[in-house]
Chain A
Amino acid sequence: MSEPLLAVEDLHAYYGPAHVLQGVSFEIGDEPIAIVGRNGMGKTTLCAAIMGIRPPRATGSIRVRGSELLGRASYRIARLGVGYVPQGRRLFPSLSVDEHLRMVEGRRNGARRWTPARVYELFPRLAQRKRNGGAQLSGGEQQMLAIGRALLTNPDLLIMDEPSEGLAPAVIEGLIATFRTLEEEGLRILLIEQNLAVATSLAERQLIMIAGEIAAETTAAELAANPELQRRYLGVEPVEHT
């Protein structure tokens, strides 16, 4: 009896008349996955569908360890052990850094791997800005806080939508190292990422999303090494798909 951690099957999603996801299927078992692709291909919609946030109308199936997520409210999805770092951070402007973290702390059952102290250890910059409000942080600091906030829910699965956006190279480096450690601790990551360096160093399995479908699966090594592949799937020329 081993259900995969996350199983997405034939997922279709619509915003109004726009058919954004067209039959997406994949599983996350023991390995992290990165989903790459050009802009406007439906990657963020996929996250929204999984998390049940501002839900597009969706059909198909999304299961976490066998429990169906479609149709569930997002707070219940979060309680199933799914953490989320949304694109654009979505912080609470009136709460300070510390309040953000303490609010989330201990909200969830299960192992308490994460504490605010550990988040501060991961992002020392945040420790310096403990008392500052969400709105007073710089872009990169906001990103750190959004990640820290998601980690504090002690998720088994962490969905991150462009976590490296706006972060300085050195911080990204630290982040990659942290996530590798977390991987070893058992956290599984579904990563949406434009920064190929981040995507390839965090996940070996690379799904390429084009026009609402998983067009191809490849490995980090292959993607990193093959400029033709990059040009075809991530370049700016329109992609012919038949």
Chain B
Amino acid sequence: MLVAVVGLTVTASVSFAGAKAGVVKVAIMTDCKGAFSFGYDYDSGGAQAAFAQYAHGKVKNKNKPSAGMTGITAGGKQIKIVGYGCGNDTVPLAVTETKRLMEKLNADVMVGPLSGDEAVYVANYAKAHPNKTFIIGTAGSQDPTLQIAPKNVFRYHGDGAMWNAGAGEIAYKKLKWRKAAIIMDDYSFGWTSAAGFIADFCAIGGEITKRVFPPLNTTDYAPFVRQLPPPNQVDGYFWVVGGSGTAPSLKAFEQAYGKLDPKKLYGNLFFAFLGADKVVAPKVAGAYVGGFGTAPGLKTKAANAYRAIMKKYYPKLPPDDGFVYNYYNAAWALVQALNKDGGAIGSKLQAAMPRSIKPAFQVSNGGVLHLDSNRQGIQDQYPLQLVKGANGAVAANVVGFVPDVDQSFHGLFKRSSPPPGRTQPKCVKAKLPWQGKIKVVKNGVITKQTIK
């Protein structure tokens, strides 16, 4: 055993000693197990398409992004993807995967992670490793850039609350909701996602009469659905039940209160994943859905150019999917920084990370997305609606444009305020910057018309 230990150590040391000084080592942290295991190819494909487009990367396998990439260079340095993290959207696995990527494979930069809880851990980890740089992949928790906010963590997309900006106003104006109840997965993403709706809906004058919290991965939703007020006591329900629970929870509601009424249901982005369900999805067609920072079907020059790039390198990946898009932007920002600082890493890289980029779905400010002082993007958001397509399949279409959503919701979420939780945020009336400025999007075109 002793011999084995020494042997392994020697080999390990030798392999590290062999690493060239001129290489920037990048890790892509994503999930390959659990509810988001599809993210493994979406995320790595998104990031690698950016490397291919802006940093000379050669795709090894068009159909399998995780096969890797060669020949990436930026700022005169070679970029090496040293590993892909394999999480399962829980923290314990994120711990070992992060340490493996950053310490065993000695990555200088992480692009990722995928989920909110993982990002909270990564942000805490980043605090202790100031020389490493972290560009969050597509995680929706507030804490990494609000409460924890280390100087070496960057996020070029919105958090779970921001993704639902505008949802409250749409419910209030288009659906005439005044009183709403919320059912939300009882964990940080569920709370954060609901927080965006609560902030938006209460700001304009709505009232939340009940919040119900089914535990994550519940199999029987009936008891939780029964806690919701019946349809005659509220105007509608904001629905934040994800994973494998979206359809069962809606079925449980149908059994308890009768026919599903799309006008009384408003889902967060989990509703957009319902499309594959042949039973429930048609019953909620017409319901509004929160966004994911992307604009599926948006017809702008920038968006089309981006789609062409994705199609060129990874034709099978859906470019309008947030998993692909957010990792793409993260990797693109990294390339810009390396080009600027001559391939330096550590604090120089962090200083060089762009404070503004021009992503495909950003329209406000001439298409420029700014980071705030916590290195968190201020991003346009796109509310969606479930529609039945010509072939009968249900898909989510962009129906609104919410300009320049910031993480604080104009000061409602602060570094010192409690993070979203069962009772956070409180329901308060406020004047949000985008209030009254939400534009109608029709057939992928942002109109001049504001939502009324």
Give yes or no for direct A-B contact (beta carbon below 8 Å): no
